[in-house]
Chain A
Amino acid sequence: MTAVIEASGLTKRFGSMTAVDSASFSIEQNTITGLLGRNGAGKTTLMQLLTAQQFATSGSVEILGASPVENAPVLQQVCFIKESQKYPDDFQPRHVFASAPWFFPNWDADFAERLIADFRVPLRRRMKKLSRGQVSSVGVIVGLAARAPITFFDEPYLGLDAVARQVFYDRLLEDYAEHPRTVLLSTHLIDEVSNLLEHVLVIDDGRIIVDEDAETLRGRATTVAGAASAVERFTIGRDVLHTERLGGLATATVSTLSERDRQEAADHGLELAPVSLQQLIIRLTTNPAESTPLATTGSEKRS
């Protein structure tokens, strides 16, 4: 395996605000990596640094072994689709699809045609008049049909309905299987993409707090449920990510359990259940102050 994206001590400050705080990670070639985190956590800024749209305050980025800043050979292999993408005034989708092939040598016109039909994009309507979802579709189509060796999708499907999102996941996986490439996808619809991801980066408050294989991450935490007193006794001395109580019952999310731990839990009449990627990330990125002990369900925060 070869790393095609490498960040080291990458930092971006806007005045007194630190949007990305000494991020260091690497992304292997031909993998799909999820960049997960809450709104304002620094996902977009990080992607803008990786694609040289923003200049780092300190630290370094290497894409294909070189800095992407004003580096044409590197940037020619990069496609960055972002949720807030602006289109020139009076542009219609057909103008976007006509010009994109000039910039992406691997552009597949037939594939683009199929995607336009799949997403039902009106070709001759001004971008300004399109719905939020239709604008997102245009970006998604460019990102897929461009087949850029390194593709960045930043929240690419704002306003897309569940059907359209599924079409995106399906087409991405199908095309990725036939034309492997490196994809970095930022999203907060974590459960929806969790099967897609091979690697996961979690950014919180500008810092990378998780950089792990998706498979490893899924096994990283377990929910323990049962009588409050038993749960309390079991969790003593363990790394507890989250606890919830409801009357005499309690659940706790704890880090990886060994076989012996599992046996012990069973002996105490406790039930064990796997934690979904989404739940795990909510646990990891929720401030302790925000999770109330009496909360009855996972407190999913979306601002």
Chain B
Amino acid sequence: MTSSTVLSPSATSGGYPGGGARVLSIARLHFVNKSTVFTVPALILTGILVVNLIIWAIIFNSVAVEDRADVGEGLQWSGSTFYIFVYTFVIAVQAINVTFPFALGYGVTRKHFALGTALALLGLAAVYSITLTLAAMIETWTGGWGFGGKMFTAIYFPANTWYEYLFVYFAYFALFFFTGSFFAAIYSRWRIYGLLLSFLGLAILIIATLAIIGATNAWGEVFAYLGALAPLGFVAWSFVPTAIAALAAFAVIRRATPKG
């Protein structure tokens, strides 16, 4: 009987870590393979930058000096950082689809898995945002890497100061991470049909919103409101879908079961 008391759940506080430690272990689990979360994205981003530099150099040397301002104007429509956000989405999907069944084998509850994963994704969003903000600052200080090029300060990042860039980048990364988590959680729980239904539901929601605005003749007001929003305010609104996606992912994963 004595040995059984040692093993009873109520008596485990001494030898076994508490919930907080479990959550941290899950967060660490997402970072154990550093190449996926750090090395690979860094290498690809550097590769894109190098290709861009070459293209900018060619353009820069082929246009007359007086036209260079115009070129700079055109270069701000650069989507070359888009890949990193897609990659972010994929990381979130993998973090749930593959790490979830793996972590369950380690005797982790779904709640601790969800919290640890959210912590890891927020940490990654912070690291990525800081890196891209630094790159944006270098791009500004060097006058677009010496060629007036724009990759990290493209038009999609409506910011001027370093903290505005940090804010915008963090908002975007959080949005991609948590929408990725949401769809991965849906897939983990209801597989492909769940995914298709959630896409359908989302499409209906968007169309219904547009229809309501149209039916009530409110387009004028909507555009007035959006126009009045500073670009940063517009970005700040992204935290609403981000938060909804995160909470929904949490609710969905609490009853998910591993495949196969």
Q: Which residues of A contact B (CB under 8 A)?
A: 2, 4, 29-30, 48, 51-55, 64-66, 70-82, 84-92, 95, 98-100, 102-105, 148-149, 180
Inter-chain contacts of B7 with A (CB < 8 A):
4, 29, 64, 77, 149
Inter-chain contacts of A90 with B (CB < 8 A):
33, 35-36
| 8 further A-B pairs in the complex, CB-CB below 8 A; given A66-B9, A75-B107, A85-B102 | A29-B3, A55-B257, A76-B12, A76-B16, A76-B107, A77-B7, A88-B102, A90-B35
For the complex, count residues of B whose C-beta is within 8 A of A. 40
Whether B32 contacts A98 by the Cβ 8 Å rule is yes
| B17 interface contact, C-beta 8 A | yes
Across the interface, A88 reaches (CB within 8 A) one of B8, B19, B94, namely B94
Chain A's closest residue to B260 (CB) is: A84
| B130 interface contact, C-beta 8 A | no
Inter-chain contacts of A29 with B (CB < 8 A):
3-4, 7
Whether A102 contacts B98 by the Cβ 8 Å rule is no
Whether A70 contacts B98 by the Cβ 8 Å rule is no
* Given A71-B9, A89-B94: A77 touches B102 (CB 8 Å cut-off): no
| B99 interface contact, C-beta 8 A | yes
Across the interface, B9 reaches (CB within 8 A) one of A70, A74, A100, namely A74
Q: Which of B108-116, B137-145, B162-170, B237-245 contacts A (4 or more CB under 8 A)?
A: B108-116
25 CB-based A-B contacts, threshold 8 Å = A53-B258, A65-B8, A66-B9, A71-B9, A73-B12, A73-B16, A76-B17, A77-B9, A79-B106, A79-B107, A80-B104, A80-B105, A82-B105, A85-B102, A86-B260, A88-B98, A88-B99, A92-B33, A95-B32, A95-B33, A99-B29, A102-B28, A103-B108, A105-B15, A105-B16
Chain A's closest residue to B1 (CB) is: A2
Whether B25 contacts A103 by the Cβ 8 Å rule is yes
List the 5 closest pairs (A to B, CB-CB), nearest first. A73-B9, A102-B25, A103-B106, A75-B107, A2-B4
| B68 interface contact, C-beta 8 A | no
Q: Smallest CB–CB gap between A15 and chain B, Å? A: 13
| B101 interface contact, C-beta 8 A | yes
Whether B107 contacts A77 by the Cβ 8 Å rule is yes
Q: Smallest CB–CB gap between B37 and chain A, Å? A: 10
| B10 interface contact, C-beta 8 A | yes
Query: Most chain-A CB neighbours within 10 Å: which of B3, B102, B107, B255?
Result: B107
